[in-house]
Structure 1
Amino acid sequence: MEDLKCKATFVVLLQLWAFTLGQVRGENASVIYATQHQIAILDTAQSKVTVLQNKLNSVQALAVDYEGRRMFWTESGGTVQSAVFMAKFDVAMATKKTVAMFGLKNPSGLAFDPRQKNLYISDSALPAILACRTQAPPLTPSSARGPAFGPVPNQSASSVGGVFDLSMDFVCVDVYNAPILQRPMDLALDHTNGYLYWIDLGQTPQIVRGQADGIIDGQLSGRGFKSQKPSALVSTRLMRPCSLSLDIPSQTLFWLDSGLDVIESIGLDGRNRKVIHSTENQRPSALVVVGDRILWAIGRPPSIRQTDLQRNGVEVRKVHGLEDDVTAMAALQQSIDTVPRSNACLSKPCTRLCLLGHNGSSVCACPDGHILSDRNGKCTPNNDAPILYAAYKDEILALSLARYGTLSPHTVRTSEMRNVYALEHLPVSGGILFTSFEARQGGLGKSTIYRLSGSPNTNGPWRSTVLVDGAGTVDCLVVDELGRLIYWVNRQKEIIEVASIDGQFRSRLMAEDIKKPYAIALDTAMGVLYVSEMTGQATIESCHGDGSLCLTLVSSGLVRPNALVAMGVDLYWTDSGSGDVSSVDIYTLKVTQHAIGRHLPHSLAVSDTVLLWTELQQHPQHEKEDEEDVEDGIIFYVDLYVEGHPTGLKMPEPTKIRTGRKGTPSIVVASSRHRDLVSEHAIFNNCTVNNGGCDQLCLPGPHTVTCLCSDGFLLLPDQASCQREDGACPDFRCHDHSKCLSDGQVCDFRVDCDDGSDEMHCPEMSCDTNEFQCPSGACIPLYYLCDLEQDCEGGKDEEEQVCREAGLGESCDTEDWQCTSGMECVHRAFRCDGDQDCHDGSDELHCDRQYNVCIGHFAVTAIRIAMTAAMNYIVRGEIR
């Protein structure tokens, strides 16, 4: 019996060896190829095709991780944001994941390092060649002692001196860029020798070789070019070279030239260049070398051809006919090391990215926003990478806007985050301000301005501190950290209020020129307050910090400018009436349109190189495609500059950042540029030193200051000192004479007087078209409706009739069961299974309790497992 087992095992090993040898020789070759909109796998032995992905957008390049059963591809062009994606290749229609999107313009080539699992990406428009980590580095003795790669995604982020350490799923660094590169296209990687090859279609087409780690004279070229350039392997007799393919055993590089209609090769030592095959008038588009065979795609007629390299390409045969032109090809075979080498990165404790170089060398690299702090390969966060903060209903997300990579949100939550609306960043100290609205019994509510800060301990909790209580209906919030002031628009009162940054003093901005403010922004260095004024024809005004001496910047083309951001000499705004996202030069008054929103632009933020905004759908009933953009918490952005020109000269298609949250967030960006513009060491305004000579509130202007006193105090004749009023009550006294209140505490939906007189006879509150009015008069965003959380007193916003009138009731599929609330659908298999799946628990009501819940639940799970296993078996059977 043991002999039979040994013989059987030996036979299996022989079969595996024969199969592997056949793959090396190309006899059992499988090739992955892409057309513009589809990726498929071709079994060349049987001429059998299995579609792996479809409905794609302009695929240009492919790469394969054979051991990890993964494939990578690029999509770009049209109205879709350029990106690199990844999916399993042994499962048809596997879920695809974004490897890199942010910062890419036109990804043109891919190459995979099988030893270190790094993906190289060329971008012809940047121009740059990037290296991206596609999985966490292997644990080394030093890194095994604790977490080395930053916070775990979807966990609370930590702060070090006000700077977030935000690791991305796929960490990317630039290995080569300009002036070394002009227009890099296809890539090929010799992982055994540590060399990277690429086609550069600059002024003179070339095939270039450089070290895979980007080292030039001891430095990463992407981090500081010194003198030496990578060498050109081929620089003559090239017209339109494309589709590099490297055969490691023979140390030969292959390519096709669609301009010369030839397939050529050259030794990696730069010798023995020769023509393999002429493809005259056939429109060759892609090639790949698999063992002893070379396969290529042609467009006339669309097909894949192959030849045996040992016969010098004499015999050519058609492998498979096609309907569409092939854009990229990749071999599906085990990588081959001609000279076995140890992985130098395994002994190097790089916390972010390790790049293998020539002759077994390696180097640690850090993404944008981090610096290599020591020789042990540790990357520590610095202040360079901008951070985008997005405030949703009960949480704030932080996303690193590093130069390249994916955007992985990290969540910050505190117990005070309830109906978070306005958001602002403190550029000097690194804190965050946010407003929170809390519904209260008796039909009234409470708005509060908080300061968010983190513990000095990187693993410690976040905390919220109350700065201003009873702030009214806060529409917009800005901060002057130089003058230590907070400004906000109280839309209910139609006034601008100001408070000290510690919340100790608070007053109303007495501005005669501002009648109906809607949005505000600050130039803290100049002491200028920008205001969108909604009295009559909408305008955007430039005023002194105290709201006086206003000048009109923009007076035409405005409907409802609802968000303002000042950055340098430019003032940006969104218009929820027209959908425009625009800017104006405050000196020349030239207006530039950057984008047109699909819905209602809601919030705006400006980074160093991109303009970001959110949108709110005006009508709850809309098409499904639009609903995704609203319900999924989409953040849009465009590059501020395209090919060296402002985006107004070339209107780009906005890119979407999906956060996986519902609702429309308020956003703000914290960046080094903001910090440089507002630095205590570089810039001062007139209130920075000694509070401008003011006792309490100092409001800066371009050349002077205005002092204000808090409610309950009088400004003395010296226009600087404040004195407490004796018995005077300038704003409002309760009818029972119990209290003296500030104007901001009256009609703010919060009872402050014992007799409630501060909330009597209040003017009727009017809500915007993108808001819902509660019975108390309070306005809440439309996206708060029917979200299974009560925001109005008594839960009016969650009533079934309100939801149906708003068109927000759930429409269930035939296999689903609708909850009694009408707002949720659950699968029928989850009905009466012992678990409450509907928020109202209706899926577990009126059940037959003789039904065996456990067995039923197990049966559903078993069916799912069986179906998944069967599908995988079928797909793998087709592939293999």
Structure 2
Amino acid sequence: MICYLVYIYMFFLKIYWTDGERDSIEVAELNGTNRKVLFNSKVYNPRAITLHYHHGLMFWSDWGNQEPKIESAHMDGTNRKTLINKNIAWPNGLAIDRPASRLFWNDGKLNTIESSDFDGKDRRVIIQNVPHPYGLVVVGSHIYWTDWKTQALHRADKDTGDDRTIIRGDLEGLMDVRSVQSDNIAENACGEDNGGCSHLCLRNPNGYSCACPTGLARSKINPNHCEPIPRTFLLTAARYSLSQISLDTSDAWDVTLPIKDEMQNVIDIDFHYRKKLIFYADIGTNSIKRVDMYNMSDVRTIVSKNLSSPDGLTVDWLADNIYWTNTGNKVIEVARLDGSSRKVIVSRQVDDPRSLVVNPKRGFLYWSDWDQINPRIERSNLDGSNRIAIIKKDLSFPIGLVIDFSNRRLYWIDAKLNEERIETSDYAGNNRVTLPIDKTHPFSLTQYQEWLFWTDWDHKCIMRAEKINGHGKIVIRPMHAAMGITMVSEERQTSWNPCMVNNGNCTHLCFFKHKGYSCGCPDKYTPSCKTSPTSRVSNVCPENKGYDCIKDDEWEDEDEYEKSMNPKYGPEPEEPGIVEQTSAFYVITLVPMIAIILASIGVVAYILIKRGKKNYLYGASRSFSNPNYYSNDANAQQNPADRKQFIWKRLKYDKSQERVYEETVGASPEVTSLIPAILTPCSSNCEAVTPEMERSPSVTPLHKVEIQ
């Protein structure tokens, strides 16, 4: 956010501001709650803003996309119109002369201070040849303004511009100026009961209107009330925060959730819709936490001990279990939603587990492994049994696993640099398809109805495309540092299984399986734990007890279920994937393989030495330089999973990718106009700027990326 100017009306208890980076004009309560975007369409570089509460009007300046202008609207965002759009360049300060009903502004490029009536008519030039005016205010019969070049506060007659004088000089870094006038107090139009509004009560010329914060829909019962939270929204991890984009409204605007937590590097998230809980994994603190959707201050750490790089997590909303990859320790674990009954379910032959997703309707758990020799996607029962690799050909860095329950498809991302792609298969890994989505670097993936949504590192945004064919790719919202993403929706967490009834009568962990379930015990010895239920729950959903007993055709076709248990790879069936193997298998299989490998290495080494090309092995190696998602090199060095030296580099988030804005602000016309003539600023790197000029404000927002 680049907040240029803020206007606070204390007795109205609201704050209005312009955001030059996000190209928006917003309002909120004085404590920052109930934040609402009033304008984000046809807003290109908003600057100053001022209010006339008595008339219910707001005015703002916009440097524009080659069309600078001054606009007005009612304070509730209605009746927007353009007042001035000719003979204007860099409109900075705005001020209201309430007794005279006139609007004043200054222009940093034309070096003028002007005024007009509230309709933009009767325009007058008050002062010319002002070096570089910025802030502006009207008090009594005078105008006061700040000037960047003179670094002083000036005053002059508001009607004629005469009697110009410097009130105070040598004010380094001078910016805006405001006045406090006791005779400018108006009665709060919303009264003591907030106008009967549940959230925002906003002034307009006729009184007031009720409004909802961005992303919240109006209540269908009472139009003056808003829903407490969105029913359907995209939830995104942005390393140091979580953001939501509501699908209940048409805003498509990201809102940072007010979570009371010092996040360091959150990369994956999931949710439990029925319990209204959000779960997130922070590899900066090596912890997994949960937060209440209704109370963002209720943050609880559920897992933190013996945890190294929790790169992925997923929630079983039917059994109330949470699964995660403990990448540094090379295991996959499960626990109850509060972190109790912790248990390792997959530990053998795990090299680099990453993303994972649960299908509690069928009792399957899927995860990706970045094994340096054999990258793959695996599947098991929810207790870790019946493990099998379903995708292991033509795969490098599989991440972003997500399930389309309606079409019974598994989707994933292969993030190999310069060969990034989104793929899909059925639950068994058969019928594999690569979607024709190019010019993107996806990291995390989610699905809702007919769409796929993903975070993109190259373009720093959230994108969307059709899930069937990848067509209709668009940018949903620009977003820096976007990592994990999931769609929070009741529609994605339906169905029923026996684990929902009193935890299947299991003492600790309940794992659903095909037409049945099993009980599990935590790794920590617990005498009270039983591996069998005290009484078995029927597989038939109990009607009229509040459960989602709508018929689910997951089990209607037994032949299809049997097919899902027998994956194939291409036209010819291959051997089953990884299973738990005996010591005899290792001896019989691995010893001959090692002998063959050693013999091959000896032959190759002999040939290379004889040819005098000792560096050939290194010259022919392929290096896939993928970005990293650790915050810095020190963090990566501390992580055991990152100590391997290999020709493949791990997929991580590179903080240097966040430099786009910093590298472009030097091209700001207002900033470069202040650089002494003896200096020659370049277009992308202004190292010649003096330390004093580096403190000048950044005024050019991040340029939007157009996706072809």
Q: TM-score normalised to the size of structure 1? A: 0.41
More strand by share: 1
Alignment TM-score, normalising by the size of structure 2: 0.50
